[in-house]
Structure 1
Amino acid sequence: MGKHSRRKGGYLPKVAAGAAPVALLFAAPAAALATPAELTLPLDHRDAGTFRRDVSTSGEDGSSVIRETLTASRHDFLAKEVAGALLTHDLAESAVTRRNEWQTGTWAASQETESFARAGRHTVGWAGVRAVSANYQQLGQGASRNLSLSPLGGGAGHRIGAGEGMTHGIWPADGVDVLSQNAEQLDTGLQGSFAGDLRSAVSARRSSGQAVDIGRLGAIGATSEQHATGQLTGVLDLGQSHEAGGQLGPAWGLAKTSQSLGPAGPAGSIRGDLGVDHVVHAEGGTTSVRGTLDRSGSLSVLDQRLLGF
């Protein structure tokens, strides 16, 4: 770490979009001033849907392959201007099913997946101020099978996963924004074979980020991530990390910490970086792996290093 950690273009996570409650503050006065006619028509409404099925087959030298995909989607958009405020609602949904089959004289396999996704975006704009709230959900599952006659064997597996996330943002002025994002994901699966082997795993992950950007004056931001994975064999993997940083004029600061527990044992680290451009710069960190500590640090004044270890 060092001066390279100072804010440059894209330094803070642009974790898109800031505060549905704030959006309601702008929407409520506009709705109160609106007449009944303004709250009804006219509306800008667009609705579209698609359905598609693709099938392909091929075969050569006693083998065959079949691939099939079914896709259904829907897109709904609604916009309305109320007392000078523009409100929009954008919703997209899709469902996809895929099936693949392979076969030869002594071997056959198949794979099937299904997924569903939904994403919504809501925007309020009024007098140069814009607020956005967005969310998404996704769900999927998959199954696979294979069978061999020579030698005799085979296996099967199944997995399922779900995820969701939300983003919020508000832009009160040009170059100024407040942003927030969070997401969660859960996956599980089971795999077995004719030989008696059985494997399973469950994985969960969560992440979040927040940022405030005040243009040329500076910005601050923070991110957080946690994950956990467990297996039927008893293998456990846990971890988390947090990071916060900011820049105000020529001064900047950054702090990061992480902890983990895995097959190799516990580990953790913490690092910090603080300075004022071309005046003073201090950084340091501590890392622990299975109880062994490793420390480092440095101090520079007027671009001259005074201390280091």
Structure 2
Amino acid sequence: MGKHSRRKSGYLPKVAAGAAPVALLFAAPAAALASPAELTLPLDHREDSTFGRDASTSGQDGSSVVRETLTATRHDFLAKEVAGAVVTNDLAESATTHREERQTETSAASRETESLTRTGRHTLRSGDVRAVTANNQRLGQGGSRSLSLSPLAGGAERRIGVGEGTNHGVWLADDVDVLSQNAEQADTGLRGTFTGDLQGAFSARRSSGQAVDLGQLGALGTTSEQHATGQFAGVLDLGQQHELGGQLGPARGWTKTSQSLGPAGPAGSIRGDLGVDHVVHAEGGTTSVRGTLDRSGSLSALDQPVVGF
């Protein structure tokens, strides 16, 4: 296990390529107003790294288990004040490897996983105004093997996955803010048995969300999600979902739609809710499963029900 820390001076912090456009708009005027002395010193830079290894063995009644885990991390933090605005860049990286082996008189099995992760956060603060952009990446792979002599059987599995996500936010005065989030991931793998059977699978998913908060006036938000999961044997699952909602003074509205295709057949639904506090309120929905429709709805005025089905 080891750590080290050092401070550097005399160079400019780099704005990350994935920084939010709004943050760049704030940064450009600040840099233009700064003097050469402000662009160099003082500069806060901290860097830490760690490495660890954990290994253990155990055995009982003719069986043995060996476990080993290796971890390595790195953390890099950079901060600079420019013309009254504070710019920070926070980067973290890690790598982990885990291995496990089990053995008895008639069987043996092993499993191993590896993962790499990277996260970055970039912040610009000027008074009560703050702009933040963050991103993360993930890459992992794993595998397992097994063999049995009584009865005779065995199998192997291998999988790999990758994922990425981003977050952006701007916080202004009077409780006004704008937020955005996106994430994507994909996983695939193969699995085989001693009898010669081979199966493969693939999974992908994407999600996003955006929101605007206008403080006391109201708010508006939307989310979206899509996924696909399949196997070489022919089993397929597809789906997507969208949601939108908002509130402006006493008025509010919300709607949600979903569609899917799976082993049970196609299905979909849509639901909505619209109203003004203590004046009028309407809600309803429709669900379809393999062509069969199911509807519901209601309407009320002045907090009294008018119609429903």
Q: Scaled by the length of structure 1, what TM-score is found?
A: 0.93
How far did 1:33 drift? Answer: 1.0
Equivalences for 1:1-309 in 2 at 5 Å?
20-309=20-309
Give percent identity, aligned residues only: 78
Moved more, 148-157 or 212-221: 212-221
How far did 1:174 drift? Answer: 4.1
SS at match of 2:36: coil
Instruction: List per-residue Cα deviations over 1:25-49 (Å, max 9, x = no partner).
Output: 1100010111222112211111000
How far did 1:216 drift? Answer: 2.3
Instruction: List per-residue Cα deviations over 1:204-250 (Å, max 9, x = no partner).
Output: 00000000112222111000000011110111111000000011122
Tell me the amino acid that sits aligned with residue 297 of structure 1.
G
Give, in whole Å, the separation in 1 of the partners of 2:43 and 2:34: 14
Tell me the amino acid that sits aligned with residue 208 of structure 1.
S
Tell me the amino acid that sits aligned with residue 86 of structure 2.
L
Give, in whole Å, the separation in 2 of the partners of 1:140 and 1:289: 37
Tell me the amino acid that sits aligned with residue 35 of structure 2.
T
Q: Scaled by the length of structure 2, what TM-score is found?
A: 0.93
Give, in whole Å, the separation in 2 of the partners of 1:165 and 1:35: 36
Instruction: List per-residue Cα deviations over 1:227-280 (Å, max 9, x = no partner).
Output: 011110111111000000011122110000011111111111111100111211
Give, in whole Å, the separation in 1 of the partners of 2:128 and 2:306: 50
Tell me the amino acid that sits aligned with residue 191 of structure 1.
R
Give, in whole Å, the separation in 2 of the partners of 1:208 and 1:243: 10
Give, in whole Å, the separation in 1 of the partners of 2:68 and 2:139: 20
Structure 1: which 5+ runs fail to align? 1-18
Structure 1 runs (4+) deviating above 2 angstroms are none
For CA contacts below 8 A with separation 6 or more, give which structure has more relative contact order.
1
Give, in whole Å, the separation in 2 of the partners of 1:25 and 1:88: 16
Tell me the amino acid that sits aligned with residue 145 of structure 2.
R
Moved more, 289-298 or 92-101: 289-298
Q: Which residue in the other structure is 2:9 paired with?
A: none
Give, in whole Å, the separation in 2 of the partners of 1:170 and 1:132: 6
Q: How many residues align?
A: 292
